[in-house]
Chain A
Amino acid sequence: MLEIIKPGVQMCIQDLGRFGYRHLGVTQSGVLDPMAMKIANTLLGNPLDTAVLEITVGLSQLRFHQPTNFAVTGGDLNARLDDCALTPGWRYFAKSGQVLRFASSPSALRAYVSVEGGFNLHPVMGSDSTDLQAGFGGIEGKALSAADQLSYKACEEKQSVGALQPPYQSHIRVLPGPHCKHLNHSTEQLLCSQQWQVSADSNRMGMRLNTSAPISHQVAINSQAVLPGTIQLPPNGAPIVLLNDCQTTGGYPMIAQVISADLRHFAQLAAGVQVSFSLATQVLAHQETQKQQHHLNQLRIALTHRDRSFS
């Protein structure tokens, strides 16, 4: 059992998300950084879609009540197991009673923790993800709080191992959105030619971006489906990048769509950070997704060899 001593700003159970229910108004949910989740699960030999803990900001403490191998991935929130400093992208072994602590960091926002074999959960509508607004999934539909317990199976110690994670960036590649033609033709250029600042008013639903030169307009569109990664432009001209907990339909013009491979970067962008965009092509977007797939495959192969040579 993993006991939550201190959840910090936000700690919740997420997997890759809830699919197949958007037409009923059900959001996707799921980790903001799927790559970090898949790396964590690869390090432990778990199925890639095994649910993990998503830790926002840090300032949290967890106690292992059974021995297990676990992985810490995502941003570097200065994690320690008792007195030992941990590196993101690595797998470690925890003895019963050991405490995992996350401090915080000015340059990272979210970390992920997975345990070997995964947590024992009860999927809702095909997913273990916590839908924080609708209040279902995860543990009783809520972010974790002190004294919450997550059960898992004890396991034997494995050699500690890890690899560099693909770096995070604040330069984001986007595909053109469908509604630029209803706005000024230069909207895409305006999005891509300036620096944007992440607003404090951002969360898992969406990231609001500020600038001294907003792209104001008075165009409304008929409500249509939006997705994580859709960049909406409300009339005030400050774009909103929709993230995993976003609503299913929206009536603001959609000016761009973040390429899938770059969505993970938003997990680490804190309030006040500068973000920039550039236009990509479908071909590049697919290549970048493939690159991530190759990274995971290489990691899996390397781990298989290493674990075999130790056993």
Chain B
Amino acid sequence: MNQEQTYLLGEQAVVLDLNCARLDDAQQNRLFALHRHLQQLKVGSDIVVGKTSITLVLKNPAHCSTWQERLLTLWEELSATDFQPTTHTIPVIYGKQAGPDLLPLAAQLDLSPQDIVELHSSPIYQVKFLGFLPGFAYLGTVPQQLQVARLDSPRTQVPAGSVAIAEDLSAIYPSGSPGGWRLLGHSSTRLFDAQAQSPCLLQPGDNVKFVPQKEGLC
């Protein structure tokens, strides 16, 4: 049983907190359905999905108490089938310079490099939420066999386009940045362009399929 609740964050934001360790697929899609529904209502200046929550920053703070109740009602009313995700295919060159952590990881997990590629590219991932950098999507879920901790010491510079994993999540670095995730490959897909009409390729709830390219390991 979830003990979902709503509360105010400051004067202008209302949070629906599902108060659980993780969401199952149905709850996750219900949360994305709620996100999309709120976007269409245009009542929020920002609406941000978290791991087990959604935060609605209202344009008009006078409506906060109304929305504390309305968010709970909407959560009750919406269902997982109200959300239809877009699926993106992302070509990836695995291994060598494109993925410097792939071989050491194979050795650490006692798997072949091809196993790593197979394991990483087999699931359809979902964008759980974005953060850290503009367009940085947290993708779940990495197969159990491939779940490993972050590097002990983060790299000072991870190149843009790096396809990486950490614990149960995968990601593609939209821009160069310091980072502690394990780099398995590289994608040339443009993820974020501030000047574009639609700046961000991946939206909360979208699906992502990685496709190994023959230029790398596959």
B11–A286 contact, CB under 8 A?
A: yes
Nearest CB of B to A20, in Å? 6
Q: Which residues of B contact A178 (CB under 8 A)?
A: 7, 9, 15, 17
Q: Which residues of A contact B218 (CB under 8 A)?
A: none
Q: Which residues of A contact B203 (CB under 8 A)?
A: 23-24
Q: Which residues of A contact B129 (CB under 8 A)?
A: 23, 223, 249
Starting from the known contacts A20-B46, A24-B199, 14 additional A-B residue pairs (CB-CB under 8 Å) come to A20-B45, A23-B48, A24-B203, A134-B175, A137-B194, A178-B17, A222-B22, A222-B51, A223-B131, A224-B15, A230-B9, A254-B9, A257-B10, A259-B10
A249–B50 contact, CB under 8 A?
A: yes
Query: Which chain A residue has the least Cβ–Cβ distance from B62?
Result: A286
Interface residues of A (CB under 8 A from B): 19-27, 124-125, 131, 134-137, 141, 175, 177-178, 222-225, 227, 229-230, 247-249, 254, 257-260, 282, 285-286, 289
| Total contacts A-B at CB 8 Å | 122
In the complex the two chains form, what is the Cα distance from A277 to B87 in whole Å? 47
Q: Which residues of A contact B22 (CB under 8 A)?
A: 222
In the complex the two chains form, what is the Cα distance from A227 to B133 in whole Å? 15
Interface residues of B (CB under 8 A from A): 7-13, 15, 17, 21-22, 35, 45-53, 55, 57, 61, 64, 129-136, 175, 192, 194-195, 199-200, 203-204
Please name 28 pairs of A and B residues whose Cβ atoms are closer than 8 Å in the assembled complex, sorted by A.
Answer: A20-B45, A21-B134, A22-B57, A23-B47, A23-B48, A23-B49, A23-B129, A23-B203, A24-B134, A24-B199, A25-B131, A125-B194, A125-B199, A134-B134, A136-B194, A136-B195, A137-B194, A175-B8, A178-B15, A222-B22, A222-B52, A225-B9, A225-B13, A230-B9, A249-B129, A249-B131, A257-B10, A259-B10
Q: Which residues of B contact A285 (CB under 8 A)?
A: 10-11
Contacts A249-B50, A260-B11; A23 near B199 (Cβ below 8 A): no
Query: Which chain A residue has the least Cβ–Cβ distance from B128?
Result: A223
